[in-house]
């Protein structure tokens, strides 16, 4: 009444049909321990006092100059059209020698190419303007 080798092999296959999850749990625990040890090291960085996100109403002074850029690249000095980059540089040079130097506020259409805004910034740099600001629409309260 001895079982044949074929029958005993079949019984072993039936017994080994379950999944052993012990190695999986061991690996997960090791990974958890590694993450718990390394996260404080990674999050520690150079101590900085970062600026807070506060929306302040801009103070428009009469001496400030607003340069508007349309999506087609047209440039306006306050409400007056500027025909060329050279004309813009000349007007900016006249303003740059004033004391105190007025701030230049750049208003650009959101669909304007960066090239058009870059030309205005370059003109300000060539004229010696020290303070350039970009006017943007404040985010909605809903987020």
Q: Give me the CATH number covering residue 118.
A: 3.30.420.270
| 102 in a structural domain | yes
Of 102, 132, 129, nearest to 117 by C-alpha is: 132
In this prediction, residue 18 has a pLDDT band, given cuts at 50, 70 and 90, of: confident
| 141 in a structural domain | no
Q: Each residue of 32-88: pLDDT tens digit?
A: 999 888 877 666 666 766 666 566 666 666 678 999 999 999 999 988 999 999 999
Structural domain of 24: 5-43
Number of domains in the chain: 2
């Amino acid at each position: 009444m001895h079982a044949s080798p074929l029958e005993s092999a079949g019984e072993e296959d039936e017994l080994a049909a379950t999944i052993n999850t012990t190695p999986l749990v061991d690996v997960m625990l090791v990974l958890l321990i590694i993450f718990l040890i390394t996260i404080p090291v990674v999050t520690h960085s150079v101590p900085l006092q970062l600026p807070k996100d506060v929306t302040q109403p801009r103070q428009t002074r009469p001496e400030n100059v607003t340069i508007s850029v349309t999506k087609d690249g047209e440039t306006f000095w306050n409400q007056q059209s500027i025909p060329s980059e050279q004309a813009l540089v000349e007007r900016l040079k006249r303003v740059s020698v004033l004391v105190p130097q007025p701030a230049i506020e750049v208003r650009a259409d959101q669909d304007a190419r960066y090239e058009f805004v870059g030309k205005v910034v370059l003109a300000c740099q060539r004229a010696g303007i020290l303070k350039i600001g970009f006017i943007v629409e404040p985010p909605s309260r809903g987020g």
